[in-house]
Chains A and B, each alone.
Chain A
Amino acid sequence: NAGVTQTPKFQVLKTGQSMTLQCAQDMNHNSMYWYRQDPGMGLRLIYYSASEGTTDKGEVPNGYNVSRLNKREFSLRLESAAPSQTSVYFCASSAGSTTSGNTIYFGEGSWLTVV
């Protein structure tokens, strides 16, 4: 049981390049999330998927797209990377119920640098 797995762990991009961060969970969770973490800014939600087939914008969605490929997988795409997207990205998942299973489990993070 690996939990939440995200790849790559480290990536350096040039401005304007595109890339996709991959995320998969093996906990049969309904909900999946992408957060970015910057110094002093906490964890900011980029996009989330409440259930398979749905995606919604979070607090900072500009410059990103997502795909909920199936119940296990939720990818984050940067179409044209900018230095402001240099950050640590965390994928996460939760069972999603309001009465139980609210715990969010995070992946190990992806360190992205845009030069």
Chain B
Amino acid sequence: GENVEQHPSTLSVQEGDSAVIKCTYSDSASNYFPWYKQELGKRPQLIIDIRSNVGEKKDQRIAVTLNKTAKHFSLHITETQPEDSAVYFCAAKTPLSGNTPLVFGKGTRLSVIA
């Protein structure tokens, strides 16, 4: 089955700096890669996603890049703000059947220092 590894497990950045979180996946057939943000005590919520036919996607200060050859994808947050502090999870999904579950990475705790 699919295996997703996420690095780093913790990340501290100064407010205004950029943050990059990287994930690798094992199944070359995976075709959907979402990122979830979980604030303290809250539920994970989707912030951005990318499909395997796209190399990069941006939404304001966040972007995701995908390298299918190397089987890795990354989340980029620019101009970080204190409200970006949270745990971020990457995930991957294989198209073996319509409803196979997402496989999540173990998460990255991002701290933005004011």
Interface residues of A (CB under 8 A from B): 30-31, 33, 40-45, 48, 50-51, 58, 90, 94, 96-98, 102-109
Contacts and interface: CB of A to CB of B under 8 A. Distances in A.
B32 A48 contact: no
Contacts of B97: 50, 98
Q: What 6 A-B pairs have minimum CB-CB distances, sorted nearest first?
A: A50-B99, A42-B106, A96-B99, A106-B43, A43-B104, A31-B99
Contacts of A48: 99, 101
11 contacts: A30-B99, A42-B106, A43-B104, A44-B104, A50-B97, A90-B44, A96-B99, A98-B98, A102-B32, A107-B43, A109-B43
Given A103-B46, A103-B49, A106-B44, A41 B106 contact: yes
Interface footprint category on B: 20 to 34
Contacts of B46: 103-105
B67 interface: no
Contacts of B89: 42-43
A103 B34 contact: yes
B45 interface: yes
B93 A106 contact: no
Contact of B44 (A40, A43, A94): A43
Q: Is the interface of A mostly helix, strand, loop or mixed?
A: loop
B26 interface: no
Interface string B59-96: 00000000000000000000000000000010001010
A109 B38 CA distance: 12
B66 to A, nearest CB: 15
B31 to A, nearest CB: 7
A58 B31 CA distance: 20
A102 B98 CA distance: 9
B89 to A, nearest CB: 6
A41 B106 CA distance: 5
Nearest to A102: B32
B14 interface: no
